[in-house]
Chain A
Amino acid sequence: MIEKNGVPSVLLTALTAMAKVAGANRIVASGLIPHTVGDPTRSPADEFIWRKGQIQKALNAAATPIEEAQVFADW
Chain B
Amino acid sequence: MVRIAHYINQFFAGIGGEDKADAPFEIREGAVGPGRAIEMELGNDGEIVQTLVCGDNSFHADPDANIAAVIAAVAESKPDLLIAGPAFNAGRYGLACAAVATAVTEQLGIPAVTGLFPEAPAVDVYQSRTVMVPTGDSAGTMKDAIEAVVKVGLRLAGGDALRPAVEDGRIPMGYRRACVTDVPVARRATDMLLAKLGGDSFQSEVTLPELAEPIPPAAAVVALSQATIALVTEGGLVPEDNPDRIESSSATKWARYPISQLEKNENPRFKSIHAGYDSQWVDADPDRMVPLDALSALAADGVIGNVHEYFYATSGTGTTVSHAERMGDEIAKQLISDGVHAVLVTST
Give me the interface of A with B, judged by CB distance under 8 Å.
1-15, 17-19, 21-23, 25-26, 30-38, 40, 48, 51-52, 54-56, 58-59, 62-69
Complex: A8 Cα to B217 Cα, angstroms: 7
CB neighbours (8 Å) of A7 from chain B are 218, 332, 335-336, 340-343
B26 sits at the interface (CB 8 A): no
Complex: A5 Cα to B121 Cα, angstroms: 24
CB neighbours (8 Å) of B326 from chain A are 1
Asked whether A5 and B298 contact (CB < 8 A) given A36-B348, A37-B291, the answer is: no
Asked whether A1 and B325 contact (CB < 8 A) given A36-B347, A69-B214, the answer is: yes
Complex: A38 Cα to B293 Cα, angstroms: 12
Beta-carbon contact of A12 and B124 below 8 Å: no
Complex: A65 Cα to B218 Cα, angstroms: 8
Q: Per a CB cutoff under 8 Å, which of A2, A21, A55 touches B331?
A: A2
Complex: A73 Cα to B343 Cα, angstroms: 19
Beta-carbon contact of A9 and B289 below 8 Å: no
Scoring B218, B220, B335 by chain A CB atoms within 10 A of each residue's CB, the highest score goes to: B218
B307 to chain A, nearest CB (A): 11
Complex: A9 Cα to B21 Cα, angstroms: 29
Beta-carbon contact of B281 and A34 below 8 Å: yes
B258 sits at the interface (CB 8 A): no
Beta-carbon contact of A62 and B325 below 8 Å: no
Q: Number of residues in B with C-beta < 8 Å to the partner?
A: 61
Give me the interface of B with A, judged by CB distance under 8 Å.
21, 57, 60-61, 91-92, 95, 121, 124-125, 212, 214-215, 217-222, 224, 229, 232, 235, 277-282, 285, 287-289, 291, 293-295, 297-298, 303-304, 324-329, 331-333, 335-336, 340-348
Beta-carbon contact of A13 and B346 below 8 Å: yes
